[in-house]
Structure 1
Amino acid sequence: MAKFFGTNGIRGVFSEDFTLEFVHDMTLAVGTYFEKGPVLIGYDGRESSPIICKVVSSALNSIGIDCNVAGIIPTPCLEFAVKILGYSGGIMITASHNPSQYNGIKPAAKDGVEISREDELVIEDIYLKKSWITNPSKWGTTGIEERTIETYLNGILSHIDSKLIKSKKFRVVLDLGNGAQVVSAPDFCKKLQCETFLVNENIDGNFPGRGSEPTPQNLSILSRTVTENHADVGIAFDGDGDRSIFCDNKGDILTGDKSALVLTQHILKKNPNSLVVTCLNSGYNIEKIAEKFNSKVIRTKVGSVEVSRKMVPTDALIGFEENGGFMYGKHNQVRDGCMTLGLMLDLLATSGKSLSDEISLLPLSFITKDKVPCPPEKVTELISSLKEEFPSFDVTDGIKISIDPKNWVMVRPSGTEPIVRVYAEAESQEKLDSLMSEYLKKVKTIISR
């Protein structure tokens, strides 16, 4: 089990458990793992990010590794640039959707994909044994990398029908969430000649607009802006720009599962006999969609690293998480908010239907999730208690209790916060409400013992 790496990178409260000393030593371990430079460094808009960047770059230089700093960029932009521009690896300074007091580091391998769970343990071992490079033959240097955003946007444009999209003159609302996609998504829409309306368009590490995580509860301004401006689509990004939640033309906020289904259908129409990778907590309708196009679905533990690292060896075309993380293998096997927007515009341009019409054609699904505060020491007791109570369960990741394929509940500890997440799917809204109410009560009772 990893001690420092969570579901997605290493995160903590800056200056408390995520100190500059910790960052320095962990960077020495990451640099030793990379073995050589150059390493690309990027960061999100949090107030602590620039100072952490200085520590990261100087730590790398101290063990003889050259690095270049790209400044504020989205995580998928850094990852794509690492792959295309020939870096030995990348370090993204971000805490993704966590609140503003958090920060973190997320290493990317030279293939532009987050490092594997096995390699996370290699880095932790170097860190714990302090077996990093010492006495390098020369000091490393730090430079500036200015090509990342243009490289990233050109990469996305190469996978969509730009000419057709331009001809549609789409109206698009971007809720940038005061996050890193501010530097790329508006330019992307401009390149596609979309009329764009911006919400929370200033980079601000305190995320004053709606917080750093887009949820149906905090996207009312996005919804209203879409309907007021008769927009074709709205999209909200998280703090580091790798996740995206959509709003249809009627102002309805879509779950990550729904947008993933409609995008998967669009992509598989053009690419039948493909492979889709998704997590255990995604809805069962993905198997139905895949089957229509003679394609297969592989399930993994929850977490983008799990999905990404399964996509690479299997050469999967699509990967997704229910939280709005969507991965398009032809571009890069990582979550990418701007690539996902490009695919959605490609879908709307190709189909000629509105997004709400496209959604209405999907098989019905009723999915929800919630979270419950839970001290880490209570997690084992919680999972054990649920195992004792239910005969049919899967403990690959937390516990998934299946009443039948259409009705299930999953409880798993967050890898980034002291909470447990509760997911449920049912065959009707009534059944879903009942299931969720029952299990939230059960989970809270066990935790409070």
Structure 2
Amino acid sequence: MGKYFGTSGIREVVNEKLTPELALKAGRALGTYLGGGTVVVGMDTRTSGEMLKSAVISGLLSTGVDVIDIGLAPTPLTGFAIKLYGADAGVTITASHNPPEYNGIKVWQPNGMAYTPEMEAQLEAIIDSENFRKAPWNEIGSLRTANPEEEYIREALKFIELENSYTVVLDTGNGAGSVLSPYLQRDLGNRVISLNSHPSGFFVRELEPNAKSLSALAKTVRAMKADVGIAHDGDADRIGVVDDRGNFVEYEVMLSLIAGYMLRKFGKGKVITTVDAGFALDDYVRPLGGEVIRTRVGDVAVADELAKHGGIFGGEPSGTWIMPEWNLTPDGIFAGALVVEMIDRLGPLSELAKEVPRYVTLRAKIPCPNEKKARAMEIIAHEALKAFDYDRLIDIDGIRIENSDWWILFRPSGTEPIMRITLEAHTEERARELMERAERLVRGAIARA
């Protein structure tokens, strides 16, 4: 984590750490870094969006960079517009699934992938040096507005086709997905029932799509006898799914199902996921010709791996999916259309979900001051290697040790002063016993750090 940029761009409480002054500097830094060209700028529905977007645009224009303002736009639409207009970068003003008092600035590359930590570090250096490019009065960038929604839908319909029509309940959480997701589903030929689709910036549910926050969606699916319920977070880069019986489909199960469907749709190949993804994915996709490769947590790491090594699909167990045949931007809206196509081809979601193996997953958060994280991880690495009898170690992001029937991941949070433990085992008893030992080890390491 850098001084301004965290695991997903700049993300802070508005008018505390994230001020118009910082947004202006971020725009000036990006324009200086690019040295010219064109940048697409979009925003989610937060009340601070216009304020921060205007500041970023001013900064970009001052360096001589041209700006295409696409206004209220989900993150996937920004990613799509960068490629559509042949832009040199994109910026989304969003705090994704954070509460409404937060906002953020996330920067995208020409191929639709987010800026890497190395690129963000260069932007930070420019912000701190304040050595910004200043265009002469007659070379200041030009500003135009555009709306790429129709083109997005037209292109998506070339990838996704339904033989039948379905009843889809869509909960966009009062976020930016409201302006696009229902329309794509409608143009696929579905009957769409919208929930929380007024893009007000005042969120009536927790934005992270999970079983608790989607209780209204689940009830509506049951009441309307719908075929599926689909939900997004604030900028619609993620997806949560409720099946035809009104049950939330766990992220791990959905990740396995869609990865399997992508292998069926596009052929055998690599599936990229993160170190916190469980064994169910491997067990489900292997018979379909899928090879699972794990990387660091975060959509940037997944997209980076896809860009470098190819792959049919990339996804995290948080509902963030990347379909490289479509774009390297995480896209919950396109994902929603894919889920309906999967149902169309393979049958009801409640039946499909039964095919995915279920294991016992446990998670723990242990308080750990940020300044102790590095030393605590060194102690954990040393102790864990002695305390557990394991077959394989992955240390690209935290430490993951695994055996044929269990795995444990020790990882410091990138956004909070906590240490995370995630583990999976075949039985509840084994999982609890492993968690007890893992928690004891982590608490001891933090105390000694």
TM-score > 0.5 by shorter chain: yes
SS at match of 1:189: helix
Aligned match of 1:200: 196
CA separation of 1:14 and 1:447: change in aligned 2, threshold 3 A: farther
Q: 1:301 aligns with which of 282, 296, 301?
A: 296
Could you tell me which amino acid in structure 2 is paired with residue 198 of structure 1?
S
CA separation of 1:348 and 1:447: change in aligned 2, threshold 3 A: same
CA distance in 2: counterparts of 1:349 and 1:275, whole angstroms:
24
CA separation of 1:365 and 1:115: change in aligned 2, threshold 3 A: same
Aligned match of 2:206: 211
CA distance in 1: counterparts of 2:17 and 2:312, whole angstroms:
38
Bigger CA drift: 44-53 or 28-37?
A: 28-37
Q: What is the RMSD of the two structures over their aligned residues, measured on CA atoms?
A: 2.2
Aligned match of 1:426: 425
Bigger CA drift: 191-200 or 67-76?
A: 191-200
Q: How many Å apart are 1:134 and its aligned residue?
A: 2.5
SS at match of 1:30: helix
- Asked if residue 184 in structure 1 is aligned to residue 180 in structure 2, the reply is yes
Aligned length: 441
Q: 2:264 aligns with which of 261, 269, 276?
A: 269
- Per-residue CA deviations over 1:69-119 (Å, capped at 9, x if unaligned) read 111111011001111221121110011111222111111111222122322
Aligned match of 1:377: 371
Could you tell me which amino acid in structure 1 is paired with residue 192 of structure 2?
T
Asked whether the equivalents of residues 227 and 348 of structure 2 are also in contact (C-alpha less than 8 Å), the reply is yes
Aligned match of 1:314: 309
Bigger CA drift: 29-38 or 169-178?
A: 29-38
Aligned match of 1:53: 53
SS at match of 2:6: coil
Aligned match of 1:120: 120
- Per-residue CA deviations over 1:118-141 (Å, capped at 9, x if unaligned) read 222222222233333124461112
- Asked if residue 410 in structure 1 is aligned to residue 409 in structure 2, the reply is yes
Asked whether the equivalents of residues 11 and 416 of structure 1 are also in contact (C-alpha less than 8 Å), the reply is no
Asked whether the equivalents of residues 88 and 110 of structure 1 are also in contact (C-alpha less than 8 Å), the reply is yes
CA distance in 2: counterparts of 1:60 and 1:371, whole angstroms:
40
CA separation of 1:313 and 1:446: change in aligned 2, threshold 3 A: closer
Misfit runs of 4+, over 6 Å = none
Aligned match of 2:143: 142
Percent identity over the alignment? 33
CA separation of 1:369 and 1:225: change in aligned 2, threshold 3 A: farther
CA separation of 1:172 and 1:429: change in aligned 2, threshold 3 A: farther
- Per-residue CA deviations over 1:334-379 (Å, capped at 9, x if unaligned) read 211011111111111111x210110111233333445455432232
CA separation of 1:29 and 1:406: change in aligned 2, threshold 3 A: farther
CA distance in 1: counterparts of 2:182 and 2:100, whole angstroms:
23
CA distance in 1: counterparts of 2:6 and 2:100, whole angstroms:
18
CA separation of 1:71 and 1:7: change in aligned 2, threshold 3 A: same
Q: How many Å apart are 1:418 and its aligned residue?
A: 3.8
Aligned match of 2:18: 18
- Asked if residue 398 in structure 1 is aligned to residue 402 in structure 2, the reply is no
CA separation of 1:180 and 1:372: change in aligned 2, threshold 3 A: farther
CA distance in 2: counterparts of 1:101 and 1:441, whole angstroms:
36
CA separation of 1:318 and 1:44: change in aligned 2, threshold 3 A: same
CA distance in 1: counterparts of 2:231 and 2:275, whole angstroms:
24
Aligned match of 1:386: 380
Aligned match of 2:106: 106
CA distance in 2: counterparts of 1:231 and 1:440, whole angstroms:
42
CA separation of 1:151 and 1:434: change in aligned 2, threshold 3 A: farther
CA separation of 1:431 and 1:334: change in aligned 2, threshold 3 A: farther
Asked whether the equivalents of residues 248 and 356 of structure 1 are also in contact (C-alpha less than 8 Å), the reply is yes
SS at match of 1:120: helix
Q: How many Å apart are 1:258 and its aligned residue?
A: 0.9
- Asked if residue 359 in structure 1 is aligned to residue 353 in structure 2, the reply is yes
- Per-residue CA deviations over 1:3-55 (Å, capped at 9, x if unaligned) read 32221111111111212212211221111222223211100111111100110
CA separation of 1:405 and 1:303: change in aligned 2, threshold 3 A: farther
CA distance in 2: counterparts of 1:318 and 1:76, whole angstroms:
16
CA separation of 1:441 and 1:230: change in aligned 2, threshold 3 A: farther
Asked whether the equivalents of residues 157 and 342 of structure 1 are also in contact (C-alpha less than 8 Å), the reply is no
CA distance in 2: counterparts of 1:406 and 1:390, whole angstroms:
17
- Aligned pairs for 1:211-230 (under 5 A) are 211-230=206-225
CA distance in 2: counterparts of 1:210 and 1:275, whole angstroms:
36
Aligned match of 1:175: 171
CA distance in 1: counterparts of 2:40 and 2:159, whole angstroms:
24
SS at match of 1:100: coil
CA distance in 1: counterparts of 2:408 and 2:198, whole angstroms:
38
Could you tell me which amino acid in structure 1 is paired with residue 191 of structure 2?
E
